[in-house]
Structures are given as structure tokens and as C-alpha cells.
A and B are shown apart, each in its own frame.
Chain A
């Protein structure tokens, strides 16, 4: 059974903290994605990666960075968390090209106090 796992289901952090959200997939997919989901705004793409050590900005990269040191793992980093980054974060992976279906993880609900 194919899987995308995210390190935490719920996370509470304080303003200014550095936050790491981890995503691991076991499908040997080249493409990986990070989204945030907010009520009334749908899913918005933060960053994506086509391969190890590659990264591309999505629509809302400000305040975030990513790391892809291994093919199966894609990390989202909040360098200095702020309250407006309270959200649901979803990770996904797919085979190339990008038009293939994406497989999603269960999400991490991050609250920044």
C-alpha cells in the first residue's frame, strides 16, 4: 500500500520558533510538494521538488524554505514561525511529469501561538 507520511498530525509552536515539518514517501516518486490549506482559500502550493536537492517556489513561498537531501524525504522549514502560518500543511508526491496524480499525506495541523 503506497504511503505518504507526515511526522506529526498536530503541532503547537511559539512565535519565532524554527519549525520542521517532515514528509516521507515510500513510492520512489521524484516529485514532492508542500501545500497549505486554509478555510475559504483551498490548497495553495508553497514549494515543490522534482528531484533530490532540487526545489522550485510555488505560489506562496515567503516565510518558508525546503530541503530535499534524499529522494523519499521532503522537509518544510519555517525559519521563524508567525501566527499567520497557523494552518493545515499537506505533503504530496507523484511520478513525473507533474500532470500525474498526486498522493497526499494526512496533513499536519500547525498552530503558532
Chain B
């Protein structure tokens, strides 16, 4: 069965520090997709990235970067030089052949000024 584990329930860092949010997944399929979503205090989840299982290249988008490692079944998310606006709940998610999205429980990130 599929599973997504975000072991960090809550993280607090001081502004400008780097922070990494961990995501570990389980699936028996060889074809699957991984996602990260951000939920700011307003409540609406916002899509950040999608990765398919055949593309292990790391991705960088501004201060955000993602490290996909199939060998450890992980898809970690790093924010460099964090800002207060990065404070949110971040969800990692997985879709495999079942075609149903499974979300992790989320990591609440506090960026302290």
C-alpha cells in the first residue's frame, strides 16, 4: 500500500536560515508521481512541484530546491535563506497506479523574524 511519511510535525527556524523538510514514501509501483503543496495561513493549498519516478534530477526554483532519491524513497524539500512568508504547512503527496493521491500529514514551518 502507498504511504507518505513526513516525520517532522513542526519546525521553527530563524529567518535567513536554510531548512529542509523531509518526505519518505512507500509504493510498490515503478511508475509514480510525487508532489509538494504549500498551505499558507489563508488555507488554500498551492501546488509547488511534481516529479515523476523516472526523473531523478534535482530541481531548483529560486530559493526552493527538491532532492529526489529513489534509493532512499525520499523527496526532500529545502528552502534556502528562509523568509517569514515561507511560514506555512507543507504537504508531500504521492500518486501511483491506484490513481488516488495520498498526502502526508504535513509539516508546519515557522519562520521567526
Q: Are A107 and B47 in contact (CB under 8 A)?
A: no
What is the CA–CA distance of A99 and B47 in the complex, to the nearest angstrom?
A: 12
**Chain B contacts of A104 at CB under 8 A?**
37, 44-46
- Asked if B28 CB lies within 8 Å of chain A CBs, one says no
Interface residues on B, range: 20 to 34
Contact with A along B52-80 (1 / 0, CB 8 A): 10000000000000000000000000000
Interface residue count on the A side (C-beta < 8 Å): 25
- Asked if A43 CB lies within 8 Å of chain B CBs, one says yes
Q: Are B103 and A42 in contact (CB under 8 A)?
A: yes
What is the CA–CA distance of A44 and B101 in the complex, to the nearest angstrom?
A: 9
Contact with B along A73-113 (1 / 0, CB 8 A): 00000000000000010101000011111111111000000
Are A106 and B103 also in contact (CB < 8 A) when A42-B91, A101-B50 are? no
Q: Are A106 and B43 in contact (CB under 8 A)?
A: yes
Are A107 and B91 also in contact (CB < 8 A) when A42-B106, A59-B100, A99-B50 are? no
Are A105 and B44 also in contact (CB < 8 A) when A59-B100, A99-B33 are? yes
**Chain A contacts of B6 at CB under 8 A?**
42
30 pairs across A/B with beta carbons < 8 Å? A35-B103, A40-B9, A41-B105, A42-B6, A42-B91, A42-B103, A42-B106, A43-B45, A43-B103, A45-B101, A45-B102, A59-B102, A88-B43, A90-B45, A97-B99, A98-B99, A98-B100, A98-B101, A99-B33, A99-B50, A99-B52, A101-B35, A101-B47, A102-B45, A102-B47, A102-B101, A104-B37, A104-B45, A106-B42, A107-B43
